[in-house]
Amino acid sequence: MGEADVAGGAGERRETQTDFIREAIREDLRNGRFDRVHTRFPPEPNAYLHIGHAKAVWIDYGIALEFGGKFNLRFDDTNPVREDQEFVDAIIEDVRWIGADWEDRLLFASDYFDQMYEWACDLIRKGKAYVCDLTADEVSATRGSLTAPGQESPYRDRTPEENLDLFARMRAGEFPDGTRTLRAKIDMASPNFLLRDPVMYRILHSDHHRQGDKWRLYPMYDWAHGLEDSIEGVTHSLCSQEYEIHRPLYDWFLDELGVYHPRQIEFARLNLYYTVMSKRRFIELVNGGHVNGYDDPRLPTLAGLRRRGFTPEAIREFCRRIGVAKTDSMVDVAALEDCVREDLNRTSPRIMAVLDPLKVVLTNYPAGQVEQLDVINNPEDPSAGTRKVPFAGELYIERDDFREDPPPKFFRLSPGREVRLRNGYFIRCEEVVKDADGGIVELRCTYDPATRGGDAPDGRKVKATLHWVAAPTAAPMEARLYDHLFVKPDPDDVEPGQTYLDNLNPESLKVVRGFVEPSAAEAQPGTRYQFERLGYFCIDKESAPGALVFNRTVTLRDAWARIEKAAKGGK
């Protein structure tokens, strides 16, 4: 990811990368502004991380690693109403999973509350902060507009002594929620609304997940954030573009306090087609029953992607490919899917599974015989070796691999036609068995014992090779076939009166029941496979021996791209 190699999984690309952030850091080191590099990833523990956070982590951590610096994982836990230890634990798991190492620097803003309080008192003594009795609505009403300055609070000129007394009583819990705030005294006519006497502290009679009932007032994010970076000695505070307008406020606080001053640099957020990247919308989707929890494999949360079978190596490669920009843009989710296909193609063992089973009986196969075929586990990785796959006279194939009346260019199985069973034999369909309603329930076929694992001795050829599983040894399983959560690239592309929820894809999850070869029957949740001809699948956390559940990670190819191309008249 730069002048030095960035550690990653085996087979990951290592090449020089540059961008405006790295160039700024190099310039800072050349001119002596800093003599080291120290970054941090500062999540708020109020939700699960998503793929956009993975990009931020790999900007922060990747740059620290590249420049031989330090990296902190630091929780901005300043709002006890929305935060929970569950989110802390999930974020730690996610950041560790994608490969970032904070060593011994797992930090929390709440551990700095005493220092922040003393700094607030310093600003009060300097006449730069005051206790305000206006309600939140009154503060908003007096903020002014783009063309008019705000109105100064009637409490703006309280003496430092009065402010210090009130501030101490706020800390002690003497006043109800919402009755008083501590505000910075900056400029009610500033063109930057964030500098119009912003709130620094609000009263919250709420216990904190780490501090318990010690505090009854809590710092606002804008007051705390820059101070945290200063306390930790961060050199480069890298954050998403929406915080650019906040930078003058962070600078004001640090300059007025006269404390160590990091440099803030902003970058564009990650936005993906066919999904949403919003904590609020994740909550709406979960609470509305549109998805099954924050780790639903249809969500772009890291927990959801991990459960679906995405690898950290694929996510890191995706972050590398999309790079670092200053302007927000949309990225096609196909780019992420391409990365996971490439990684899983290299690393995933192949097995055979049938998702829509159609029974095949080989009428000339020895009754009761089960033979073991030697099959390569991964043609991309010779070290993966081989496995034994049982073959028997009763098999399952995909129902879609048979047509009683085949259309033109359909080369798979049909009456009188011969095909190859992968790693097995040539078979020919001799008879179609139907139920009383005319539905096909069984195919009766013959096999050629001279074609095991290869071509026919007489040189005859077949045009199709089918995957299969042996019925006597096949393990029953449930497969969850996931697709895009929304039918439109931009979920907010709606008609008047609609919301993004009207663009939910009703086919985003399809559950089927089929069979898989027995080699996967005892595999643990999280194990990834390529189901030959079908796609990449991962064993779900709800799976158990005898009740296998697989999640489809991604198809073998981008089916949506083909659909869109066909819709535009392509072939």
d(CA 478, CA 185): 62
Q: Is 137 exposed, middle or buried (0-12, 13-18, 19+ CB in 10 A)?
A: exposed
CA angle 117, 118, 121 (to 5 degrees): 90
Does residue 284 have an active-site annotation? no
270-306: buried (b, 16+ CB within 10 Å) or exposed (e) per residue? Answer: bebbbbbbebebbebbbeeebbeebbbbbbbbbbbbb
DSSP 438: S
**Phi, psi for residue 64 in degrees, rounded to 5:** -60, -45
Cα-to-chain-centroid distance, residue 211: 30
Estimate to the nearest angstrom the gap between the alpha carbon of 563 and the chain centroid. 25
Please say if 44 is a catalytic residue: yes
Catalytic residue among 279, 281, 428, 533: 279
Are 181 and 137 in contact by the 8 Å Cβ rule? The answer is: no
Give the SS3 label for residue 171. Answer: helix
**26, 169, 263, 269: which is the annotated catalytic residue?**
269
Cβ count within 10 A of residue 511: 9
Q: Tell me which long-range contacts 415-422 makes (C-beta under 8 A, separation of at least 24).
A: 418/460, 418/462, 419/462, 419/463, 419/464, 419/465, 419/466, 420/451, 420/462, 420/464, 420/465, 420/466, 421/395, 421/465, 421/466, 421/468, 422/352, 422/465, 422/466, 422/467, 422/468, 422/532
Helix (H, G, I), strand (E, B) or coil at 50: strand
Decide if 463 is catalytic.
no
Q: State the catalytic residue, choosing from 44, 430, 442, 478.
A: 44
Q: Write out the catalytic residue numbers.
A: 44, 269, 279
